[in-house]
């Protein structure tokens, strides 16, 4: 198949849905993955675009295996993987430090979804991505994963220290660096994307960026040219410090 095939996780709303929309409009065949299949179908129907929908719970091994089989049997390859699904369950107030009283359960739940499940899903799908002429893996990180900025008292994010969420994004950034190095001699590029502070359920209405603009970084990294970057931490074309 000459047409690119993309899987976008957490695509039933917000950034994931908008990313799926923009990729379809760019001529990509998109598979929108949603934990709740009916919610995913309703969201995609509201766009009026030709987007496939699959059920995917990134915390469930059987669900991941089923998605692998679906893509393998129908397309025989995967060109683009956008790891968009993620959670923040610590606090509605982002301007706090939870490190002194974080519970082990909350920390594990956050890391399971935002880090371990992404590694598991990506490594499962990697054989299909290796079959692409130009494989692209986009990990949805956050500027809140930057250790450089968190350790700088002058940084605008210094006061936002949700330990579980931030740590999960730092770990995800580490995975990006390591996986990009492992695939350096292939046609696969791996990057971390910071979408910005976006008006979503997670970002709230206080955020300054629209969902349309928030999806642009992921889409740009998904459609990188052959001479594009790999192993980088990007927001709207600009590199962020790890």
What is the tens place of the pLDDT at every residue in 173-221?
Answer: 999 999 999 999 999 999 999 998 765 666 566 655 688 999 999 999 9
Residues catalogued as catalytic? 165
pTM of the model: 0.95
Give the SS3 label for residue 160. Answer: coil
Task: Please give the CATH number for the structural domain made up of 5-239.
Answer: 3.40.50.720
Nearest to 122 by CA among 7, 205, 18: 7
Nearest to 145 by CA among 59, 216, 240, 19: 240
Where is average pLDDT lowest: 21-25, 57-61, 238-242? 57-61
Q: How far apart are CA 182 and CA 189, in angstroms?
A: 10
Nearest to 167 by CA among 241, 91, 98: 98
| Dihedral sign of CA atoms 109, 113, 115, 121 in order | positive
Q: How far is CA 79 from the centre of its chain?
A: 15
């Amino acid at each position: 198949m000459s047409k690119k095939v993309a899987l976008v996780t957490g695509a039933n709303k917000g950034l994931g849905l908008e990313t799926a929309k923009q990729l379809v409009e760019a001529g990509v065949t998109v598979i929108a993955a949603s934990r709740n299949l009916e919610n995913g179908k309703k969201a995609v129907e509201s766009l009026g675009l030709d987007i496939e929908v699959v059920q995917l719970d990134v915390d469930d091994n059987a669900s991941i295996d089923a998605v692998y089989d679906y893509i393998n049997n129908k397309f025989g390859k995967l060109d683009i993987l956008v790891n968009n699904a993620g959670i923040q369950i610590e606090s509605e107030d982002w301007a706090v430090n939870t490190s002194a009283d974080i519970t082990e359960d909350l920390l594990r739940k956050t890391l399971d979804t935002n880090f371990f499940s992404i590694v598991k899903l990506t490594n499962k799908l990697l054989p299909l991505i290796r079959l692409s002429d130009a494989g692209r893996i986009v990990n949805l990180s956050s500027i809140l994963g930057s250790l450089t900025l968190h350790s700088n008292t002058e940084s605008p994010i210094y006061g936002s220290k949700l330990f579980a969420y931030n740590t999960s994004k730092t770990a995800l950034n580490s995975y990006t660096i390591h996986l990009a190095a492992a695939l350096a001699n292939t046609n696969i590029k791996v990057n971390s994307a910071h979408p910005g502070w976006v008006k979503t359920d997670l970002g709230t209405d206080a955020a300054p960026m629209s969902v349309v603009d928030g999806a642009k970084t992921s889409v740009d990294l998904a459609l990188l040219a052959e001479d594009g970057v790999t192993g980088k931490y990007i927001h709207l074309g600009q590199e962020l410090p790890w």
